[in-house]
Every structure is written in structure tokens, then in C-alpha cells.
Amino acid sequence: MDSPTVALHESSHGEHPSYQRHHFVSMAQQKESASFGMWLFLLTEIMFFGGMFTAYLVYRNWYYPAFVAGSHTLSIVLGTTNTGVLITSSFTMAMGVWCAETRRRGGLILSLILTLVLGLAFLGIKSVEYHEKWVQHHVPGLRFDAMTFVHPKAEPGQAAEPPLPLDMAQHTEVYFSLYFAMTGMHALHMIIGMGLLVYMLIQAIRGAYDNGNIAFIENFGLYWHFVDIVWIFLFPLLYLISRHQ
């Protein structure tokens, strides 16, 4: 065949579903493209958080005692709970995708609601933690007092943390800067995700996904799981530094 510009008829694909965009040859191509595009977007997200992970690694090595002390002011109960909440929401989202794939509208709506509720719970717990930091003067820049580490107060029912020398105590501000930057960016991703969840919920109730056009849900699923993965790393890095001390 010596005629490249002559057409190849897409006879194999017969009728196209209504939601297939005109420039795609087939539904499979559209689907693959969408999820590939989503993955590439997630790569940019990896690198976005990557910058902060690099900073974390540098300063953790430099100011290890400050990182330990800062980490010990975080509530391990709330942190663990939140990890559980987020993992569960990831699970409900995965179930949502499954329901959408198998065209179970009721299941999809339920999964989305559960995911939304769990996401809200996560943010709620996070805001409790943030509030606690604010009360304790642990918010870098705005309300920070290194002396709380030089003269640590004993929590009720617990022994006081060992005091830090002033110079190291001052470096806890670096820890909290990273803590707020990393969890803040993570929370921002959660908030964006919640907005999308509400949108999808409305669409699902309207029955927009009943025809099998579920690329949006699948790709959102990828996004949501990615947010979960970020937290899976943030949790041990921020909460679990030398808890045995």
C-alpha cells in the first residue's frame, strides 16, 4: 500500500457511544488516554510533594532532636485515627469505582457519600490538630514560641517531654514549617477532592454515570488514592519520629 493519506475506515468500531469525543478513534483510546493523562498529572503531584520531602530529609538530618520534640507534640491518637479514616475513604472510593464499573448506581452513591463523610472527618480531625497547635504557640511565623520546648509542660497523665536547649528549640520552627506546609498542601488536595466528590455525587444521583461513561470517577479515584499515598508517607515521617524516647 503506497497511499498513506487514504483513509482507514473504522468499521471495526461500528457505532460510537454518545460520550465519545470526536477526535478519538475508539472508546478504548479515549479511556486509555484519560487515565494516562491522569497518571501524568499524578507524576507532577509526586514532584510537587517531592520538593517538600527533600526539604524534610535535609532538616531532619540537621535538627533531629528538634524534629523528635516537634513530632512528640502531635497527637498519635488523632494521627493514627486520621490514617485509618483516610485509608477507609480510599477503600470506599475504590468500591465506588467498582460500583460505577458494574453500573450499581445505589452502591456508587453510597460509596461517594461515605468517601465524602470520611474526607470531612479527616479534615475535621486535622483542624482539631491545627487548633491545638495554635493554642500551643506552635504555628511558625504567626504564633510561635520556642520556649515551650525549653520548658515543656507536662500533659495530664503523662511525663513531661525532656527539655531542649534553646538553640535546638528554635529549630522546631523548621519542623513545624514543614509540618504545616506538607499537611497544609495535603489538606488543600483533600479540599479540592471534596469539591469534586460533591460534583460527582450530584451527577451520580442524576444518573449521569449509568451509561458507562465513568472515566471521571475512575480518574478521580486515582487522584484520591494518590492523596492517600501522600498521607501514608506523611504519617510516619511527621508523627512517628522516635516515639520510644
Partner 1 sequence: MSAHEEHSSEEQHIVSPKIYVLIATALLLCTALTVAASYLELGPWNAVVALAIAVFKASLVVLFFMHIKYSSKLMKLTVGAGLFTFLTLVGMSMSDYISRAWGSF
Partner 2 sequence: MSSIVSLPDQSTARIPKRNYLTNENGILSWLLTGDHKRIAILYLISITFFFFIGGALAGLIRLELLTPQSDLMAADTYNKVFSMHGIVMIFLFLVPSVPATLGNFLIPIMVGAKDLAFPKINLLSWYLYMIGGCLTLWAMITGGVDTGWTFTTPLSTHYVNTNVVTTGLAIFIAGFASIFTGLNFIVTIHRMRAPGMTWFKLPLFVWSNYAASILMVLGTPVLAIALVLVVLERTIGIGVFDPTKGGDPLLFQHLFWFYSHPAVYIMILPGMGVISEVISTFSRKRVFGYSAVAFSSVAIAVFGFFVWEHHMFIMGVSNYSTLVFSLLTMLVAVPSAIKIFNWAFTLYKGSITFETPMLYAFGFMGLFTIGGLTGVFLGSSGTDIHLTETYFIVAHFHFVMVGGMLMAFLAGIHFWWPKLTGRMYPEKISQLAAVVTFIGFNFTFFPQFLLGMLGMPRRYAAYPPEFQVLNVFSTAGATILGVGYLLPILYLIWSLKYGKVAGNNPWQATGLEWQIQSPPLTENFIEIPVVTQDAYDYEWLERQKEREVTQVG
Partner 3 sequence: MDHISPVLWQFLVKWLTNFAVIPPEASKVAPQMDALLLFMTLVSLVGLVLVIFLVVTFSILYRRERHPVATQIEGSTLLEATWTIIPLGLFLVMFVWGSVLYFRIYTPPPNAMQVYVVGKQWMWKAEHPGGQHEINSLHVPINQPVQLTLISQDVFHSFSMPAFRVKREAIPGRYTTVWFEATETGTFHLFCSQYCGTAHSAMIGDIVVMSPENYKKWLQSSTSGVSLAQDGERLFASLSCSACHNGTPGARGPNLAGVYGSTLTLSDGQKVTVDDAYLRQAILNPSAHITQGYSPIMPTYQGQVSEEGLFSLVEYIKNLDSNYRIKQTTTTTELAPVATAATPAASPAANNGKVSHE
Q: Site residues (CB under 8 A) for partner 3?
A: 63, 65, 164-168, 170-171
Which C-beta is closer to partner 3: that of 109 or that of 150? 150
Does 1 sit near partner 2 (CB under 8 A)?
A: yes
Which C-beta is closer to partner 3: that of 86 or that of 164? 164
Question: Cα(28)–Cα(111) distance, rounded to whole angstroms?
Answer: 26
Which C-beta is closer to partner 2: that of 63 or that of 130? 63
Strands 138-139 and 143-144: antiparallel
Question: Cα(174)–Cα(136) distance, rounded to whole angstroms?
Answer: 16
Name which of partner 2, partner 1, partner 3, none residue 164 binds, using a CB cut-off of 5 to 8 Å depending on partner kind: partner 3
Distance linking the first and last C-alpha atoms of the chain: 75
Place of cell 500533659: 155
Among 19, 62, 134, 199, binds partner 2 (CB under 8 A): 62
Written as one letter, the residue type at 52 is M
- Name residues whose C-beta falls within 8 Å of residue 3's C-beta, 6 or more positions apart in sequence: none
Question: How many whole angstroms from its chain centre is CA 28?
Answer: 29
Does 57 sit near partner 1 (CB under 8 A)?
A: yes
> Footprint of partner 2 on this chain (CB under 8 A)?
1-10, 21-25, 29, 32-33, 36-37, 40-41, 43-45, 47-52, 54-55, 58-59, 62-63, 140-142, 170-171, 173-174, 176-178, 180-181, 185
